[in-house]
Amino acid sequence: MNLFEVYPLYDVTPVKAKDCYLYDDNNIKYLDLYGGHGVISIGHTHPIYVAKLKNQLDKLGFYSNAIQNPLQVELANKLGEISKCPEYNLFLCNSGAEANENALKLASFQTGKSRVISFQNSFHGRTSAAVAVTDNPKINAPLNKQQITTFLPLNDIGLVETELKKNDVCAIIIEGIQGVGGLDQGRTDFFVALEKLCDDYQAILILDEIQSGYGRSGKFFAFQYHNIKPDIITTAKGMANGFPMGGVLIAPKLKASYGMLGTTFGGNHMACTAALSVLEVIETEELMENVIEVSNYFLSEIKQITQVKKVKGRGLMTGVEFNFEVSDLRKQLIYDYQIFTGGALNKNLLRILPPLTVTKAHIDVLIKALKEILSK
Ligand SMILES: Cc1ncc(COP(=O)(O)O)c(C=O)c1O
C-alpha cells in the first residue's frame, strides 16, 4: 500500500529529539523553531513528560468515557487554575478541528440557530463544520459548502453587527491570533465589542486558541490581552506536547446533557497524563515568563535583518514578513543551516513557533543564518 500523498515533504527524517533539537537518521542536528506546527510546547522528550507517560502506560493506557477517570478531573482543575478560567467546564477530544467542531455544535444547540460569522484568512481545521468556517475554498468540498458561513474582515465591528441583526447567527468564531492565515489579530476594542454584541444578539463567542493558547502568546490565552471572557475557548496543539488532544472550555451558561457530545478516545489516560505534564512544566519552568523574555529579545534582534518588512503576532507566535516569497529561504534554512521554520497562507511570511523553552542563544542562531543567506 502507498501513502495517500497529501503532504509535500521536506527530505528530512527525524528519528529522535531533545528540547529544541531534532536529529535525523544521519544524526544531523536541526534547531526546531517550528515545533511541528506549534505543537511542541515544553520541548521534545521533556524528562517529566516522558517519565509520566511511561509510568501511566505501565498502569492503564485507555478505557472509555463510560467509567470514572480521575485524570480528567485533575486536568480540568489544573487547567482552570493555570489558565485563570476556573469557572469553565471542560470537554476533551482529540484534535483542534474536533474541538472547533464541538464548539460550533454546542453554539448551535444552545441558540437554535446555524449561521456562523468567521473572519477573512481564518483557519479552524478540516472537519465538516470547522472547515466550513475556514476561509479557504480550496479545502472545502461541496459537502462542506452546505453550511452557511459569513466571512468578514477583522476589526470591522459595523459589519459584524449588520450580520448579527439578521438574528440567524449561532456563533462568531475567531482565532486569538491568526495562525495559518498569517499572524493578523483583532484589536482590543474589536474583541471587547464582539463580546458585547454576542450578548446582545444571543450568539456564542468562540475563541479558537488552538495555536495561540497554552502560553505561546506570553499569557495563557491570547484573548487575555483583551480582557474578555469568551463563551467557548478551544485548545489543542501545545496542550499535550504532541500527544493528540483537544479541549473545549465551556462557560457555565452552556448546560451539558448526557449524550450531547461524545468521543471514544478523547480524554484518555495517556492524553490526560501528557496534558498534566505540560501544565506542570509550564508552571514550574515559568515558560510564560520565558516567552516574554525571548520574544522581546527576538523583536530587538530581528531589526538587524534589514530586508524584513514587518514582524507580526505576539510572544512566540511570530510572523516575519519579507517582500518576497519565503519558500526558498525556508529550504535554505533547513538544508544549509539545519533550522526548521514555518510558512503561512501569506507566502511572504516566515512563521516562527518554537518550543516555549527556546533560548536567546537559539534566536542568535536564526539571526546569524538569516543574515548570511540574505547577504548572498
Ligand atoms: C487556529 C487553528 N485552529 C484549528 C486548527 C486545526 O487543528 P488540528 O490540525 O489539530 O485539527 C489549527 C491547526 O493548524 C489551527 O491553527
HEC secondary structure over 218-236: CCCCHHHHCCCCCCEEEEC
Q: Nearest to residue 266, comparing CAs of 35, 48, 75?
A: 75
Atom of ligand 1 nearest to the CA of 98: 11
Element (DSSP H or E) covering residue 352: strand 349-352
Question: For residue 155, how far is its CA from the centre of ligand 1 (angstroms)?
Answer: 22
Residue nearest (by alpha carbon) to ligand 1 atom 4: 124
Predicted confidence (pLDDT) per residue in 204-253, tens digit: 999 999 999 999 999 999 999 999 999 999 999 999 999 999 999 999 99
Residues composing the chain:
376
Q: For the chain, report the end-to-end CA distance as a whole number of angstroms.
A: 44
235 within ligand 1 shell (Cβ under 6 A): no
Domains detected in the chain:
14-46+286-374 (3.90.1150.10), 47-284 (3.40.640.10)
Q: What is the overall mean pLDDT for the chain?
A: 97
124 within ligand 1 shell (Cβ under 6 A): yes
**92 grid coordinates:** 476533551
| CA-CA-CA-CA torsion sign (216, 333, 15, 264) | positive
What pTM was estimated for this model as a whole?
A: 0.98
- Give the model's pLDDT for residue 331: 97
178 within ligand 1 shell (Cβ under 6 A): no
Question: For residue 179, how far is its CA from the centre of ligand 1 (angstroms)?
Answer: 9
Q: Are 291 and 273 in contact (CB under 8 A)?
A: no
Predicted confidence (pLDDT) per residue in 269-303, tens digit: 999 999 999 999 999 999 999 999 999 999 999 99
Predicted confidence (pLDDT) per residue in 168-181, tens digit: 999 999 999 999 99
180 within ligand 1 shell (Cβ under 6 A): yes
243 within ligand 1 shell (Cβ under 6 A): no
> Residue 23 has what DSSP assignment?
E
Mean pLDDT of 308-335: 97
Give the pLDDT band (50/70/90) at residue 376.
confident
Buried b (16+ CB within 10 A) or exposed e, 276-297: bbbbbbbeebebbebbbebbee
- Give the model's pLDDT for residue 2: 97
